A = this chain, B = another copy of it.
Amino acid sequence: MNEKSGLKNFASRLIVILLGIPAILLLIWTGGIPFATFIGLISLLALIEFYSLMIQKGFQPWIPGGLAAGLAWIVVSYLSPDLLFPLIMLILLMFLGIMLFKTVANATANTAVTMLGFFYIPLMLSILIILRESPRQFGGEYREGSQLVMIIFAVIWICDSLAFIFGKWLGRRKIAPHISPGKTWVGCIAGLAGAILMALVIYYLNWKPDYLRLCDLLAIAVIVGIFGQSGDFIESVIKRDVGVKDSGTLLLGHGGVLDRFDSFLIAPAFVYLYILFLKM
């Protein structure tokens, strides 16, 4: 890449950041249908990218079924999370049943990757809706759902940015060059340090749910720091397996939607389990 396109790339990244961050914070604050719609949109776009990757790998995912399942899941996690368990049954039965109506060759693997896409993307992202909208199941107030989700976003953003900057600047020892050539131990540790620092800032601003003590905030920051970066790595494994660099090109200079939200795919589920464990 030459100097000029590098600059252009940087400028377009800056635009996405300057518009994106305040817009997303506002959506989290608002909650309700706007936030659920945002997560639903991200889920479906990322799922389409995932299925395109699988097609490039030679599979035939059942895209309409996967998208319908993803949409239904997002709607139900907003409207009535109590029905999510029966919904899993229904969705599994649909995925298994469709095998009967497809070509037999590779039916098993095609069904398996269709299901994987659903579980990996809409189901995992829907946890953000559950954390945002249903804080009462953790003994919190509605407002506290917005604080918790903002904490997750802020920690992931700081962690990703510091990992990127320190990795470029000081990083030498690669973590796993065969998966992701850009990731270094220095970047990883800088990201984790940034996550912990962000938890301290949040604590002193007191912008947090009442039921979280300082040690919980620190635990959540470490969880999000570690599993945000792991989420990034998992997506790299998938791309490397398929043999591509970016999941898509929708966000100029930022790669695809899946690239941009890969850190959000598994960290929220760990936060959900941590808080559930806290309340037991």
Contacts and interface: CB of A to CB of B under 8 A. Distances in A.
Interface of A: 54, 57, 59, 84-86, 88-90, 92-93, 96-97, 99-100, 104-109, 111-113, 115-116, 119-120, 123-124, 127, 176, 178-179, 230, 233-234, 237-238, 240-242, 265-266, 269-270, 272-273, 276
A26 to B, nearest CB: 28
Contacts of A97: 230, 234, 266
A262 to B, nearest CB: 11
B90 A273 contact: yes
Q: Is the interface of A mostly helix, strand, loop or mixed?
A: helix
A108 B241 CA distance: 7
B86 A85 contact: no
A109 B96 CA distance: 16
A113 B108 contact: yes
A113 B111 CA distance: 9
Contacts of A88: 88
A265 B92 CA distance: 11
A113 B123 contact: no
Contact of A230 (B100, B238, B241, B242): B100
Contacts of A93: 266, 269-270
A105 B243 CA distance: 9
A56 to B, nearest CB: 11
Given A104-B179, A109-B59, A266 B96 contact: yes
B241 A86 contact: no
B270 A106 contact: no
Contacts of A100: 176, 179, 230, 233-234, 237
Contacts of A272: 86, 89
A240 B266 CA distance: 35
Contacts of A85: 84-85
Contacts of A124: 92
Contacts of A113: 108-109, 112
Contacts of A105: 241
A223 to B, nearest CB: 11
B89 A273 contact: yes
12 contacts: A57-B108, A57-B109, A84-B85, A86-B273, A92-B120, A92-B124, A97-B230, A100-B230, A104-B240, A108-B242, A109-B109, A109-B113
A241 B106 contact: yes
B115 A116 contact: yes
A127 B90 CA distance: 13
A273 B90 CA distance: 8
